[in-house]
Structure 1
Amino acid sequence: MLGQGFVSAAAIAASVLFVLSLGGLSNQEKAKRAVWYGIVGMALAVVFTALGPGIGAYWLMLPMIIAGSVIGWRVAKRVAMTEMPQLVAALHSFVGLAAVFVAWSADLERRRVLAVRATEGVTEEFSAFAALVATKAPDELTFLQLEVVFAIFIGAVTFTGSVIAFGKLAGKVDGKPKQLPGGHLLNAVAAGLCLLLAIAYVAGAGFWTLLILAALSFFIGYHLIMGIGGADMPVVVSMLNSYSGWAAAAIGFTLSNDLLIVTGALVGSSGAILSYIMCKAMNRDFLSVILGGFGGTSGPAAEIEGEQVAIDAGGVAAALNNADSVVIVPGYGMAVAQAQNAVSELTRKLRAAGKEVRFAIHPVAGRLPGHMNVLLAEAKVPYDIVLEMDEINDDFPNTDVAIVIGSNDIVNPAAQEDPNSPIAGMPVLEVWRSRVVFVCKRGQGTGYSGIENPLFFKENTRMLYGDARDSIDTLIPLIE
C-alpha cells in the first residue's frame, strides 16, 4: 500500500506525460516519442492507482490486468493497418461499457452505504469509495447521482455507437445510412425519457431507473450511428473518441479520481477539437455530427456522362517519364493493398530521375484521421514531401501527373459540381485540374461510400485497373 501523497504525485506525473503525448502527436517526427510518453504515463497511472490506499482484492485484480495486457498485446500485433479504424472503434466501446458498469456499481455501493450508515455509521469494512460516500453531505450525494446518470448516458451511447461504427468499418454492417421510421424523433423521445428517468432517480426512485436509462441510451447510440453514411465514418470515429473521454471523466468524478478526470477531459476535448476540424474539412455542421443528422442525400444525384478509359502500366510510365511534377494522392485502397512500400520505391525512383514528387493528404483520407500519414511514415517517405490539402490544392493546375491510389470521395468533383451529392460542399483535392490523372483502382465499383465519382469519367483521366501494389510494382521498372 502506498500513501495518498505518492498516488497524487504519480497522478500529476502521468497527467504531464499525457499532455506531452498529445502535443507530440501533432508532429510526425516526434510521434514515436510521444507514444512512449503515453505508455509510461498509463503505466504509472495503473500501478500507483492499484497500490493506492483503500484498494484491495488483488487476487482478482492482478489476473484481470495480466489477462487484459496479454489480450491487448496479441490483438495489437495481429491487427493490420487497414483494420486500425475498426480497432479504435472497438476500444471506444470498451470505455463506454466500463463507464456504465462502474456507474451501476457506484450506485449500488451508494445505496448499501446509506443503509449501513443509517444504523451503524462508517465501518472499517467499507471500501475506499464506500468510505468516501459515507462522509458526503446530502447535496454532495445529489451531485454523485448526477455524475452516475451522466456516465451511464454517455457510456451507453458510446458503447452501442462504437459497436455499429466497428461493424460499418469492418464491412459487417451496411455502410448506407439507415434509420427506423420516425428518424430523429425517436432519438428525441428516447433522450426525453432519459431525462425523466434521471429526475426520478435523483428524487429517490429505485435502481430500475438506471437500467432503463441505460437501455434507452444504448438505443440512442445504435440509432445515431446507423443513420450515418459510410462517407462520414472518419468523423464518427473521432466523435466517439470524444464521447469515450467524457464518459471516463464522468467516472473520474464519481470515483473522486483526479487522474481519470484529467485523462478523460484530455481525450474528450481533443476528440471534440479533431471532430470540429474534420467537420470543417468535410463542410459538415458540428451540431449535426453530434446528433447523427448527416450522411444522406438531399436529392437525385447528377447524371454522369462519358466512360471510364483504361490504360496499362506502360502508358502510365511514359507519362511519368515525360513529367516534371508529380502529385500522389493515397487512399484507403493503398492501405488495403499494402502498397505503401511500393509507392515509396516509385517515389524514390522518380525523384532520382529529377522529378518533383509530392503527396497530397486530405484530412479524412482513409478511415481514420492520420491513417495515410502513418502508412507513408512506415514506408520511409520523407515527411517534407507529404503535404496537407490546403498546402497543395492550388498547385494542381501546374502539375503534370496526378496519381490517385485507392481514393474516391476525397478527389470527387461532385462535391463542387453536384448540390445533391451526399458530399456536396466538402473540400476535396482538385486532382482533375492536373494535366493528366491516373487512378489506380481494383474495378469500376463505387467503393466503400457507394458514391459515384465523375473524376473517373473525365477526358484527362485514365484508369489503371488492378491491385494497387501489383500495379505499382509493374510500373517501377519502367521508370527511366
Structure 2
Amino acid sequence: MSNGVLFGDLIAAVCFILALKGLSAPRTARYGNWAGAAGAALAVIISLSTGHLQHVGLILLAVVIGAVIGVPAATRVKMTAMPQLVAIFNGVGGGAAAVVALVEFLTVAHNSSLISAGDQVATVFTILVGSVSFSGSMITFAKLQELMTTRPVVLPAGRWISSGVFAAAIVLGIVGVPVRSTGLLVVLMLVSLGLGVLFVLPVGGADVPIVISLLNAFTGLTVAASGYVLGNTLLIVAGTLVGASGTILTRLMAAAMGRPITGILFGAFRAQVGGPAAAAENRPVRSGTPEDIAILLGYARKVIIVPGYGLAVAQGQHTIRELADLLAARGVKVAYGIHPVAGRMPGHMNVLLAEANVPYEALLEMDEANSELSSADVALVVGANDVVNPAAKTTPGAPIYGMPIINVDQAAAVVFCKRSLRPGFAGIENELLYDPKTTLLFGDAKESLGKVVAAVKSL
C-alpha cells in the first residue's frame, strides 16, 4: 500500500473522528455532518484509485444505482419518517457487511490455507451480527412505519424459541471457524436473520429508539470486522467509531429511561402484555377552544412547552415557534422541555425545533425542565403522551414503568394538544388527560396552534 493511500486513509479517519465530535453538540452538528461526508467521499475515491481493484464498471454501476435510490429518499423524507430512514440505512449497512464477508470467503474457499483463523473468526462474527442487524432493523422500520403493531409481540413460548435460535447461531458460529464450509455459513446467515426478527419483536413503544441505537452499534462492529477480513484499516477505524458511539448512546438512553438494557430488550417476556389500551369509559374530560388556550397562555408568567411526535407529524414546529415568540413579546417566560426519547429517535425533538430556528438555549433537558415545572403556570404538551404519562411512576407492569418522565402534572395548569384520546406509542392510557387541571385542545397540532396564535394576537 502506497504512502499516498495511507495518508489519505489517515485524513479520512480524522474526518470521521471530527464528525463524531461535531455531532456531539447542536451548534456544530452541521459541520460534523460535512466532515463525515468528506471523509466518506475521500475513502471512496481512495478505494477506486487503487490499482488492484477489479470489476470497476460493476462497482460504478452499483454506486449509481445506490445514488439514484438513496439521494431522493434522503432529500424527500419528511422529518416524521426520519427514524424509519435511519433504521433502513442502518440495516442495509449491517446486511452489506455480512454479504461482503461471505463473498470474500467464497473467493478463497477453494484454498483454505489462504484463510487464517483470525480471518475466519471475523467472517463468522460479521455474518452473524450483520444479519441480526439487518433483519432487526427491518422490524424496527415496520414498527415505526406502523406496518405492524408498535406494541411488544411475544410469541407462544417465545422465550424458549428465541433462546433456541440464539444457541443455534452461537453453535453454528463456533463450528464455522474450524469447518470453513460455505453451506454452514449460509445456514448461519439464515439463522441469524431469524434471530434478528425474534430479537426485536418483543420490543415496543418508547423502547424502539434504544433498539435502533443498539443495532447501529452492531452495524459498526460488523463493519470493523469486515475491515479486518478485507485488510482495510479505514473500515476498522470507521466501524469501531460507530460501534463505540452507538454503544455509549444506547447506555445513555437506557439510563434516561431509568431501566437496564436487559429489561428493555427482554422485559416483555417477564411482563404480561395485554391487548390495546381500553377505551375511556365515557370519562369526562375538559376541552377548550383556541381562544380559551390563548387566554391561559397569554396571561401566564411561565410556560413550558413539551413537544412530541405529534408535533412532528403535523409539521407544526414553525407554528409553535411563532406562538413562543408572541408569548415572549408579552413578557411570558417560555422554554421547551425535551425528553431524551421523545419522538422516534434520539434527538428527534432537537432536530425538529432546530429546523424552526428555536434558540438552543430555550431547550431544557428533562431534569432541568422538571425543576422549572413546579413554578410554571402552564405546561403545554404538543403531541407527546408517553414521556409525560404518570403511569411510568404509578403503574407497575406498564410498558413504560420506571421511565423518568417530564412532570407536567406539577404545573399549575396543563394543556394537551391532541388529535384524540387515543393512547400514545406505548399503547397505554394517560390518566393525566382526565385530571381536573388539564385542558384538551383537540385537532391537528399545526392547525390548532395556528388558531391559538391568531387568538393571542387579538388579546
**TM-score grouping bracket, smaller chain normalisation:** over 0.9
User: For residue 164 of structure 1, what is the amino acid of its counterpart?
Assistant: I
In structure 1, C-alpha distance between the alignment counterparts of 2:130 and 2:147, rounded to whole Å: 23
Once the 2 structures are TM-superposed, how far is the Cα of residue 292 of structure 1 from its aligned partner? 4.3
In structure 2, C-alpha distance between the alignment counterparts of 1:44 and 1:295, rounded to whole Å: 46
Q: Which among 418, 422, 430 is matched to residue 441 of structure 1?
A: 418
Which protein has the larger Cα radius of gyration, Structure 1 or Structure 2? 1
2:230 aligns with 255
1:30 aligns with 28
Q: Which among 308, 316, 325 is matched to residue 331 of structure 1?
A: 308
1:428 aligns with 405
Q: SS of 1:112's equivalent?
A: coil
Structure 1 stretch displaced more, 74-83 or 186-195: 186-195
2:68 aligns with 70
Once the 2 structures are TM-superposed, how far is the Cα of residue 450 of structure 1 from its aligned partner? 0.9
2:326 aligns with 349
1:209 equivalent to 2:209? Answer: no
Once the 2 structures are TM-superposed, how far is the Cα of residue 206 of structure 1 from its aligned partner? 2.2
1:172 equivalent to 2:147? Answer: yes
In structure 2, C-alpha distance between the alignment counterparts of 1:414 and 1:421, rounded to whole Å: 7
Structure 1 stretch displaced more, 183-192 or 318-327: 183-192
Q: Which among 322, 325, 340 is matched to residue 317 of structure 2?
A: 340
1:42 aligns with 40
Per-residue CA deviation, residues 324-381 of structure 1 (Å, 9 max, x unaligned), is: 1010000000000000000011011111111100000000010011111011111011
1:96 aligns with 94
Question: What is the 5 A alignment of 1:113-128?
Answer: 113-114=111-112
Q: SS of 2:179's equivalent?
A: coil
In structure 1, C-alpha distance between the alignment counterparts of 2:120 and 2:410, rounded to whole Å: 58
Q: SS of 1:422's equivalent?
A: coil
1:128 aligns with none
1:386 equivalent to 2:384? Answer: no
Per-residue CA deviation, residues 249-299 of structure 1 (Å, 9 max, x unaligned), is: 11111111111111111111111111111111112212344x544497458
User: For residue 57 of structure 1, what is the amino acid of its counterpart?
Assistant: H
Q: SS of 1:428's equivalent?
A: coil
Whether the 8 Å contact between 1:231 and 1:295 is mirrored in structure 2 is no
Whether the 8 Å contact between 1:4 and 1:52 is mirrored in structure 2 is no
Whether the 8 Å contact between 1:298 and 1:422 is mirrored in structure 2 is no
1:85 equivalent to 2:60? Answer: no
In structure 2, C-alpha distance between the alignment counterparts of 1:84 and 1:271, rounded to whole Å: 18
1:404 aligns with 381
1:125 aligns with none
2:9 aligns with 11
Alignment identity in percent? 40
In structure 2, C-alpha distance between the alignment counterparts of 1:156 and 1:186, rounded to whole Å: 18
Once the 2 structures are TM-superposed, how far is the Cα of residue 449 of structure 1 from its aligned partner? 2.2
User: For residue 159 of structure 2, what is the amino acid of its counterpart?
Assistant: H
User: For residue 206 of structure 1, what is the amino acid of its counterpart?
Assistant: S
Given the superposition, is the C-alpha separation of residues 294 and 12 from structure 1 closer, same or farther in structure 2, using an over 3 Å criterion?
farther
Per-residue CA deviation, residues 119-150 of structure 1 (Å, 9 max, x unaligned), is: xxxxxxxxxxxxxx4xx6xxxx1111111110
Once the 2 structures are TM-superposed, how far is the Cα of residue 184 of structure 1 from its aligned partner? 2.2
Whether the 8 Å contact between 1:177 and 1:296 is mirrored in structure 2 is no
Once the 2 structures are TM-superposed, how far is the Cα of residue 61 of structure 1 from its aligned partner? 1.1
In structure 1, C-alpha distance between the alignment counterparts of 2:207 and 2:448, rounded to whole Å: 29
In structure 1, C-alpha distance between the alignment counterparts of 2:280 and 2:57, rounded to whole Å: 66
Once the 2 structures are TM-superposed, how far is the Cα of residue 46 of structure 1 from its aligned partner? 0.9
Question: What is the 5 A alignment of 1:188-337?
Answer: 188-204=163-179, 206-289=181-264, 291-294=265-268, 297-298=271-272, 307-337=284-314
1:453 aligns with 430
Structure 1 stretch displaced more, 271-280 or 304-313: 304-313
Once the 2 structures are TM-superposed, how far is the Cα of residue 36 of structure 1 from its aligned partner? 0.5
In structure 1, C-alpha distance between the alignment counterparts of 2:49 and 2:400, rounded to whole Å: 51
In structure 2, C-alpha distance between the alignment counterparts of 1:335 and 1:200, rounded to whole Å: 48
Whether the 8 Å contact between 2:154 and 2:269 is mirrored in structure 1 is no
In structure 2, C-alpha distance between the alignment counterparts of 1:102 and 1:202, rounded to whole Å: 17
User: For residue 262 of structure 1, what is the amino acid of its counterpart?
Assistant: V
Given the superposition, is the C-alpha separation of residues 182 and 299 from structure 1 closer, same or farther in structure 2, using an over 3 Å criterion?
closer
In structure 1, C-alpha distance between the alignment counterparts of 2:396 and 2:346, rounded to whole Å: 26
Q: SS of 1:423's equivalent?
A: coil
Once the 2 structures are TM-superposed, how far is the Cα of residue 466 of structure 1 from its aligned partner? 0.3
User: For residue 213 of structure 2, what is the amino acid of its counterpart?
Assistant: S
Structure 1 stretch displaced more, 198-207 or 352-361: 198-207
User: For residue 344 of structure 1, what is the amino acid of its counterpart?
Assistant: R
User: For residue 319 of structure 1, what is the amino acid of its counterpart?
Assistant: L
In structure 1, C-alpha distance between the alignment counterparts of 2:424 and 2:241, rounded to whole Å: 35
Per-residue CA deviation, residues 171-194 of structure 1 (Å, 9 max, x unaligned), is: 101112113222222222122222
Q: SS of 2:396's equivalent?
A: coil
Once the 2 structures are TM-superposed, how far is the Cα of residue 417 of structure 1 from its aligned partner? 1.3
1:466 aligns with 443
User: For residue 433 of structure 1, what is the amino acid of its counterpart?
Assistant: Q
RMSD after superposition: 1.9
Whether the 8 Å contact between 1:90 and 1:162 is mirrored in structure 2 is yes
1:129 aligns with none
In structure 1, C-alpha distance between the alignment counterparts of 2:410 and 2:258, rounded to whole Å: 21
**What is the number of equivalent residue pairs in this alignment?**
454
Per-residue CA deviation, residues 427-479 of structure 1 (Å, 9 max, x unaligned), is: 00000110000000001111332111111111111110000000110011221
User: For residue 26 of structure 1, what is the amino acid of its counterpart?
Assistant: S
2:352 aligns with 375
In structure 2, C-alpha distance between the alignment counterparts of 1:429 and 1:53, rounded to whole Å: 57
1:122 aligns with none
Q: SS of 1:421's equivalent?
A: coil
Unaligned runs of 5+ in 2: none
Once the 2 structures are TM-superposed, how far is the Cα of residue 406 of structure 1 from its aligned partner? 0.3
Per-residue CA deviation, residues 45-103 of structure 1 (Å, 9 max, x unaligned), is: 11102212421211111121122123211111111000000000001111121122111
Once the 2 structures are TM-superposed, how far is the Cα of residue 113 of structure 1 from its aligned partner? 4.0
